[in-house]
Copies of this chain bind each other. A is one copy, B any other.
Amino acid sequence: MGTTKINKSRGRPRAFDMEQALDKAQALFAEKGYDALSVADLTDAIGINPPSFYSAFGSKSALYGQVLQRYAELEGIDIVGALAADVPLAEGVARLLGEAAANYGGGNGTGCMVIEGARGGVDAQACQQARRLLDMTYDAVHSGVSLHAPEKAEMVMDYVMATLAGLSSSARNGLSPDRLQRIATIASRQLAHELEEK
């Protein structure tokens, strides 16, 4: 079942570039979302026919899962790094939100693929795949926050997740990166105040 490309496999060679195809798919999923993007859109963009698509990716849902994973690995925020133990929590959160603002607004301003995907729509399975990644993100941030301020973890988590959702939404609304950054800055400042209070 290995899909590694190193294999100089025996049969007829693939007529399209796998990495470019994944790039295309990622861009389209990010822009349109799972439901609004048809397999025909994907095959047209990649330049292949349906049988090649299904042979290469299994299904629309499987490709989405692969693309989500890819997105999380390539464009994900370094949560552990931002919330490292030797960094004050307020500063760590500020880094986190700042990175998010940069990532969400960068490229084509499509926001966060995980947050937007987890919001769901028609296809429940697609939503769950994104939700799973969002839950993992939540857990990573939560454990980082708990290191510094376990008794305020719930408050911080609620505010951080809401801010991330707001940033993603604002990015999709077309806000420029610097305006997103300003939102992140304001949010970070207040959280710093909240954390100073005993």
Contacts and interface: CB of A to CB of B under 8 A. Distances in A.
A193 B165 CA distance: 23
Contact of A189 (B166, B172, B190): B190
Contact of A186 (B35, B116, B172, B191): B191
B182 A161 contact: no
A23 interface: no
Contact of A161 (B36, B162, B170): B170
A170 B183 contact: no
- State the oligomeric state as a number of copies: 2
Contact of A121 (B121, B190, B193): B121
Interface residues of A, number: 35
Contacts of A162: 163, 166-167, 169-170, 183
A136 to B, nearest CB: 15
Interface of A: 33, 35-36, 115-116, 119-122, 154-155, 158-159, 161-167, 169-170, 172-173, 175, 179, 182-183, 186-187, 189-191, 193-194
14 contacts: A119-B119, A121-B122, A122-B122, A155-B182, A158-B179, A158-B183, A159-B187, A162-B169, A165-B165, A165-B169, A166-B166, A186-B194, A187-B187, A189-B193
